[in-house]
Amino acid sequence: MSALLTAFAPIWMLTAIGYAVGRGGLLGPGAEAVLGRFVFHVAMPAALFTMVSGARPGAFANPSMVAFAAGTALACGLGFLLSGRLFGRGTADRAIGGMVSGYVNSANLGIPVAVQVLGDASFVAQIILFQVLLVSPVILTLLDSGTESGAGAGGSAVLRRMLTMPVRNPIILASLLGLAVSALGLRLPHALAHSCELLGSAAVPTALIALGLSLHTRPADGEATPTGGSGPGRAGTVLAVALKTVFQPLIAFAVGGPLLGLPGPQLLAVVLCSALPAAQNAFIYAQQYGLDTRAPRDAVVASTVVSMATLSLATWALGTFGT
């Protein structure tokens, strides 16, 4: 438990600092939007480029990743489907609903948890690549097609927007550039690599500060959202948290255990990483696409709290396999 507390402490502290800053009005009324744009357009692309350019994309082609990917696909897919069926959300909001249901906080929480509990963060690196290179582009494409800029467009316009997505979206563009550098075996000049690394290191803390700011500026229940809806409310948060912290790790366990027969330590790694809470990227994505940020924000905060119990339970239940 102490290891988990150590891993979670920075998340809570930075979010609390963001709330305190917002409550004190230190950064002005537009701080949340400005910080969100900085993360989405500058810091996060730098972090992803640095991460992908120094990694091997083929690293996630293994049975453990198959089990993790199965849990992710089913959780995201079910979150996307139920957000529309139960709450009548549009395509873009359903994409965010799917994201908070299955996109794990792999970087700033997954790495310390893996190091503390598993003693090795190599599997988390594979998860980061999987989410950046495969999951994020799908989510961003749905967001693009479901917002005003993509809605109502003709067939040729939709195709044109999909084809130009990598150029227009800084997250995808940075990931593809990093993939190209990795595939070509290029080594960036030290000054450039260090600058990208330094800039990218601001992504996570700034996103958490923005998340904390949003907690202070929370709209009242029933207040109109940017897309004109009222939001799924508590029921949507409960659904997303249940899918993220319970359903996803259970699917990963079922696929990795009975179906694939993974060894104990690998099964523990898959289930533990699948039980990680929702990533704050969902809040940033919703903010930048002009969507209702209440649902992703509440799901990120609630899943972070609940995952303390589910991560502890997974470690206790499966930890004996790793001995």
pLDDT in tens, 118-158: 776 678 878 888 888 889 889 988 998 877 554 444 445 55
| Cβ-based neighbour number of residue 196 at 10 Å | 21
Mean pLDDT for the chain overall: 82
The string of pLDDT tens digits covering residues 294-322 is: 899 999 989 988 988 888 888 888 865 44
User: Kind and range of the H or E element at 91?
Assistant: helix 91-102
Q: Residue 125 is part of which domain span?
A: 2-322
109 pLDDT above the threshold of 90: no
Give the CATH number for residue 95. Answer: 1.20.1530.20
Task: Say whether pLDDT at 68 is over 90.
Answer: yes
Domain count, the chain: 1
User: Is the confidence at residue 221, as pLDDT, over 70?
Assistant: no
Please give the radius of gyration of the chain, using alpha carbons only, rounded to the nearest integer: 19
Please report the pLDDT score of residue 186 as a whole number.
87
With a pLDDT cut of 70, the percent of the chain lying above it is 80
Residue 321 neighbours by CB distance under 10 Å: 15
Any idea which of 13-17, 111-115, 276-280 has the lowest mean pLDDT? Answer: 111-115
User: How far apart (Å, rounded) are the C-alpha atoms in residues 86 and 121?
Assistant: 37
